[in-house]
Amino acid sequence: MKEFWQRFARNRGAVVGLVILIGVIFLALFGPALYPESPWRMTAPPFQPPLEHPGAYFGTDTLGRDIAAGLVHGARVSMLVGLVSTTVALGIGVALGAMAGYFGGVVDNAIMRFVEFFQTIPSVVLAIVLVAVLQPSIESIVIAIAIVSWPPVARLVRGEFLSLRSREFVEAAVIAGQSNARIIFSQILPNTLSPIIVMASLMVATAILLESAISFLGLGDRNLMSWGYMIGAARTVLREAWWMSVFPGVAILLTVLSLNLVGEGLNDALNPRLARKGR
Amino acid sequence: MAILEFVGRRLFWAIFVILGIVILNFILLRLAPGDPAAIMAGQSGATDPEYIAQLRVQFGLDQPLYMQLLTYIRDVAMLDLGMSGRQQVPVIDLIARRLPATLLLTITAYFLSLGLGVLLGVLAARRVGKWQDSVITVLALLAYATPLFWIGLMLILLFSVTLGWLPAYGMRTTGAGLTGMAYVLDILHHLILPMVTLGLFYMAVYARLARASMLEVADQDYIKTAVAKGLPDGRVTRAHMLRNAVLPVISFAGFQAGHLVGGAVLVETVFAWPGIGRLAFDALLQRDYNVLLGVFLFTAIMVIIFNIITDIIYTLVDPRIEVGR
Amino acid sequence: MFRRAAFMASAAAVIGVAASAYADEPKRGGQLSAIINPEPPILMLGLNQQGPTQAVAGKIYQSLLTYDFDLNPMPSLAREWEVADDGLTYTFHLQEGVTWHDGEAFTAADAVFSLDEFLPETHPRWRQLYRNVASIDAPDDHTLVIELEEPFPAFIMAFETASAPMIPKHLYEGTDYRDNEWNQTPIGTGPFKFEEWNRGSSIHLVRNDDYWKDGKPYLDEIYFEVIPDAASRVTALETQRVHMSRGEDIEFFDVPRVAQLDHLEVTTQGWEMFAPHAWLEFNVREEPISDKRFRQAVMHAIDREFILNNIFFGSGNVATGPISSSTLFYDDNVPEYEYDPDRARELLDEMGLEPDGNGVRTELRLLPIPYGEAWDRLGEYVRQQLIEVGIQTDLEAADAGTWAERVANWDYDMTFNYLYQYGDPAIGVSRSYISDNIQRGTLFTNTMGYENEEVDRLFEEAAREIDPERRQELYTEVQQILVEEVPVGWLIELEFPTIYDVRFENLVTTAIGTNETYDDVYIAE
């Protein structure tokens, strides 16, 4: 563990990312205590630039709602959408991809047909259709994002498994009579972790971005203040009120950035050891 | 021969995939509340039950659902995608009119992102830890972390509104009566912003993937052996690393075909690009079932072809994988 | 009639423009590029009357009359007309020398076909009006006589282009109207002919060289450009790629900024015929909404001045009641609902809706109308204002399909809507409040389920009354009753801006605004 941390800490970007990420998570967990009032409340005159109106340090939006309150409450929504949908998508994708790549043959064929099935429908379009069919709400958005995000994971894991399946160390384990489950979990899966981690970090980001795209197209949850919603609502006043879209944009950017940096740090910390241990 | 057989088998499967997609989407769309008759009536400012009933008959919505599905599958089998209920135009015409715009946008964006992305990724991996790596990594991270439509709006703000260099929307200058070379240049002029917007995001993805897998491969023993054998750095990159590093990129690029169409919905919305992404979104909001099904069918076929090509390339790059397994 | 001073002032401003138009001779030539959004599904005006369809097809098709800003009828395809003293016989004398775009002559037979056969089958609004009709005849090629069953003075308001477009008999008679191939290449009598439609991109109309008004139109061609994104639409105007926007093309908050640009001009005239009236619609079948005190409380909880200024950015007036101030028979002598949250709380207390520990008195759903940014903001604002007085409100997002389905089938607690009034309360106002018009599955009926016998009686009597003074008395009474009862919460009389390039003259000259034929439009140098 100590060694892991040392490796992780060697990547300075990762440490910065971790600090930011902890900040965002802290905001998501305890932020609403800082701004206990609803972020939808109109607390100041509309269109106040940052630092203009006392109390509204980040400015106000078209109706006089405090951007800062929106940012704080939005952290929770965006993180929730990102994490929950990614977790679900990873679960489905890794399980199916591993089975396909490991067992090959009929199983692989069946699973890949299933994957293909989902991938032949453009994911953003499918997500939008799903949200429209299920009625726009936070739950339907999470479900839709998860449903469209798992196929790339399955493909990636399958590719890795296919490639690793014919390696000597796996052949050796098969000859040694290890069970399939044991080979999958202790031999192959650890070796696929780093690309999965990289991809997961990208996926959380994609989920947050996809949520904002859904809001942009007017299908977001109207009761929750999310960063995606804030940009969606601000995009038409881009020129009149830059702060309305810049701050939530920066919030998304920082969160996504931190996730990626942390993912890379993990990659650095995990990769060399595991790659060697497998052989 | 093995490849031909493989392609044949895949195409055979593709028919079932497509049939499945038709049925799934058909059912999915009918689960959405509202129908095209109600919407059209709603937008007319005044309606009565007769008007809605007439529209339903006209759209074929008065038939039982399973009959509508069977009719649709039969028509599709005979390469007839039906009529757009709303616009009273064959769906195939609508798609044919919109498809070139989307193909132009997505294919150029695809090659832009793939080419530049892999290039940047490899460059970053070769210069790992140096400033080039940092710059590329930071730029990729930023491009990746910014919403697509937001980049589009920012580019419009800069290049159209402030600088006035590039058109803000559309695909051609309407009413200019351009022909020949001037016409092509006009379209290219309009293409730049949407292409960059759509390509930027995926370029970042490829750069990251290429860099990550290059580094991964570089760490493996056979590369170390190659370096130890004294092969020059450049040859190691080309011969050994690139081939292996490109695998995850290809794996990703294959499914990106579908993704691009999704991204195209957003980009086409921001730039008023008259493609099928926007057609699909409008059709969804208007519940113009046949149009949406037609678009799904088309993109499905496109993606299937892309996937088969990807798998073939995959085999060529990594001989350890046998096709069709 | 009963108009506002502010309205008169803006009318004067446009008359100024018109005066300057006469100063220099209109020039032939040039092209107009206008935004069209959303893209019309079809341009056959007899089959589809959506706003964008009207704007484009209004250049192709014509009707018998048009209307000035005060809603006085003016000639179009009818050069003169008389209404008999008993209010039953309408005689129209048609223009001579009018031809369809394919060269055939337009005669009274076409008018009879349109009004007596085509439109009653396809046009829901005409079908309502047609119920009053006993017979339609053409005694000669240029005379049209319509007999009514009973007096219906609003009938004279029913002849603008979209309400009663003239359809070519020789192309449509005996065919399946909806399947007719001419629907794709519409043929009318208007100053512009259909040329080409690049779906998703643009619609191209060209000058009709055989137009029946000599020397007109002035323009050579009109392009309607389809631009689905609001921000792109503003940019198109700013960068002078297009010359005109209409309706809700430009988001309300952009209007004040765009209005300041030197090359652009803004007018809110040209909507007097439609008078879009926005309201918060209550499903009065539901508890506690069925109690009028609850609806009054909601009215007091909402600051409509704030909505006008911060959501619609001043594009309109606060609505006082069911009839818009630009519609005939408006009366502002009605009860007022000041913004007063305390009064709202009092009313709710009075009803026995006491707040619980979290300050929540009751829970309701609000289904916003998916028609753009301003309407989204309106939903968020109203939700928050209701929460402030203890009405916990859940916003339900919906796309156009969902919204239409749910409102038509009464599956909502509160929603927004806006309806056109078409000049006369008997056409565009009474339909929302009379109990006869409670029809499940149909939008723009009395979807809220409001029933009041007195209101039914007053609207019916007013619709049949020929004497304008007596009509005014009846409509004043019904306005007072309705405002007291609040069957819907009237919010704003919307004024949609037409934003146009200053070089263009006569883009808005009548009460139907940008739906006009544009045979008078020219480019001044």
How far is the alpha carbon of B279 from chain A, nearest alpha carbon, in Å? 11
Q: Which residues of C428-447 are buried (b: 16+ CB within 10 A; e: fewer)?
A: bbbbbbbeebbeebbbbbbb
Nearest to residue C46, comparing CAs of C56, C59, C61? C61
Q: Are residues C402 and C256 in the same domain?
A: no
DSSP assigned state of C27: P
Which residue type does C145 have?
Answer: V
Please state, in angstroms and rounded to a whole number, the distance separating the CA atoms of residues C375 and C368: 7
Model pLDDT, residue B241: 66
pLDDT for the residue numbered C263: 93
Cα angle: C221, vertex C223, C227; to 5 degrees: 175
Any A CB within 8 A of B150 CB: yes
- Residues with Cβ within 8 Å of C510's Cβ and at least 6 positions away in sequence, in order, are C66, C67, C68, C69, C74, C270, C516
The CATH number of whichever domain residue C239 belongs to comes to: 3.40.190.10
What's the confidence (pLDDT) of residue B45?
67
Third-level CATH fold of A2-276: MetI-like fold (1.10.3720)
Query: Tens of pLDDT along A5-63?
Result: 888 888 787 898 889 989 998 988 888 888 888 899 888 888 889 988 888 889 998 88
Backbone dihedral angles phi then psi of residue B177, each to the nearest 5 degrees? 65, 35
Over pLDDT 70: what percentage of chain B? 81
Chosen from B48, B62, B193 to mutate, greatest number of chain C CBs within 10 A: B48
Report CB contact under 8 Å: C399, A41. no
The residue of chain A nearest to residue B146, with distances taken between CA atoms, is A253
- What is the CATH number for C365? 3.10.105.10
Q: What percentage of residues in chain A have a pLDDT greater than 90?
A: 15
Q: How many CB pairs under 8 A join B and C?
A: 174
- Write the pLDDT tens digit of every residue in B141-183: 788 777 777 788 778 777 877 787 887 777 777 656 677 788 8
Contacting residues of B for C49, CB less than 8 Å apart = 44-46
> Is the pLDDT assigned to residue B225 strictly greater than 80?
no
- A38·C387 Cβ contact <8 A: yes
What CATH number does the domain containing C155 carry? 3.90.76.10
Query: Least CB-CB distance to A237: which of C253, C379, C380?
Result: C253
Any chain A CB within 8 A of the CB of B252? yes
Q: Does residue C89 lie in a domain region?
A: yes
| Nearest chain A residue (CA) to C229 | A236
Do the chains contact at B43 and C239, CB–CB below 8 Å? no
Distance between CA atoms of residues A103 and C102, nearest Å = 70
C290 in a structural domain: yes
Q: Does A236 touch chain C (CB under 8 A)?
A: yes
Chain A residue with the nearest C-alpha to that of C256? A240
Interface contact B304-A116, CB threshold 8 A: yes
What residues of chain A lie within 8 A of the CB of B263, using their CB? Answer: 124
C-alpha separations of C78 from A265, C71, C142, C516, C518 in Å:
80, 16, 9, 15, 17
CB distance A203 to A89 below 8 Å: yes
Q: Which residues of B touch C31 (CB under 8 A)?
A: 175
Q: Do both C468 and C330 map to the same domain?
A: yes
C253 at the A interface (CB within 8 A)? yes
Question: Does C260 contact A at CB distance below 8 Å?
Answer: no
Average pLDDT on A127-138 reads 86
Three-state DSSP at C247 gives coil
d(C-alpha C383, C-alpha C210), whole Å: 56
Determine the residue among A37, A38, A41, A42 to mutate to test chain C binding: the one whose Cβ has the most chain C Cβ atoms within 10 Å: A42
* pLDDT (tens digit per residue) in A230-266: 877 876 776 777 788 778 878 888 888 888 778 777 7
Q: Which of B24, B144, B300 sits opposite A205 (nearest CB)?
A: B144
Closest-approach residue (CA) in chain A for B281: A125
CB nearest to A236's CB, from C251, C384, C398 = C251
Residue-level pLDDT at B245: 65
Per-residue confidence at A155, pLDDT binned at 50, 70, 90?
confident
The arithmetic mean of pLDDT across residues B107-124, rounded, is: 86
Instruction: Give B82 or C52, the one with higher predicted confidence.
Output: C52
Chain B residues in contact with A152 by the CB 8 A cut-off are 252, 255
| Total number of domains in chain C | 3
Residue with the larger pLDDT of the pair B38 and B251: B38
Query: B274 to chain C: which residues are within 8 Å by CB?
Result: 198-201, 226
Kindly determine whether residue B43 and residue C400, on different chains, have CB atoms separated by under 8 Å.
Answer: yes
Does the CB of C10 have a partner CB in chain B at under 8 Å?
no
Cβ contact B301:B309 at 8 Å: no
- Taking CB atoms and an 8 Å limit, are A136 and C395 in contact across chains? no
**ipTM value for the complex:** 0.78
Instruction: Decide if A113 touches B, using CB distance below 8 A.
Output: yes
Rounded-to-integer distance, Cα C62 and Cα C95, Å: 12
Q: Could you tell me the residue ranges of all domains in chain B?
A: 2-77, 100-317
Do the chains contact at A163 and B145, CB–CB below 8 Å? no
Give pLDDT tens digits along chain C (525 positions): 333 333 333 444 444 444 444 556 888 999 999 999 888 888 999 998 888 999 999 999 999 999 999 999 999 999 999 999 999 999 999 999 999 999 999 999 999 999 999 999 999 889 989 999 999 999 999 999 999 999 999 999 999 999 999 999 999 999 999 889 999 999 999 999 999 998 878 999 999 999 999 999 999 999 999 887 777 788 888 888 899 999 888 988 888 888 899 999 999 999 999 999 999 999 999 889 999 999 999 999 999 999 999 899 888 999 999 999 999 999 999 999 999 999 999 999 999 999 998 889 999 999 998 887 889 899 999 999 999 999 999 998 887 878 888 998 999 999 999 899 999 999 999 999 999 999 888 888 899 999 999 999 999 999 999 999 999 999 999 999 999 999 999 999 998 999 999 999 999 999 999 999 999 999 987
CATH topology for the B100-317 domain: MetI-like fold (1.10.3720)
CB C32 within 8 A of CB C244: yes
| Structural domain that includes position C397 | 277-494
> Which alpha helices (H) appear in C149-291, and where do they start and end?
169-172, 230-238, 255-259
- Does residue C400 sit in the same domain as residue C323? yes
Neighbouring subunits of C (3+ Cβ pairs under 8 A): A, B
CA distance C381 to chain A (A): 8
pLDDT confidence bin for B118, thresholds 50/70/90:
confident
Taking Cα atoms as reference points, which of C143, C109, C148, C144 lies closest to residue C131?
A: C148
Q: What is the pLDDT of residues A71-130, one digit of tens each?
A: 999 888 888 899 999 999 999 999 999 889 888 889 998 898 788 777 777 777 788 888
pLDDT of residue C119: 96
The confidence score (pLDDT) of residue C7 equals 38
Length of chain A: 279
Amino acid making up residue C319: A
Q: Find the residue in C nearest to A229 (Cα).
A: C376
Q: Collect all residues of chain B within an 8 Å Cβ-Cβ radius of residue A227.
A: none
Pairing of strands C31-36, C221-226: parallel
| Higher pLDDT, residue B85 or C154 | C154
Distance of alpha carbon C1 from alpha carbon C72, whole angstroms:
11
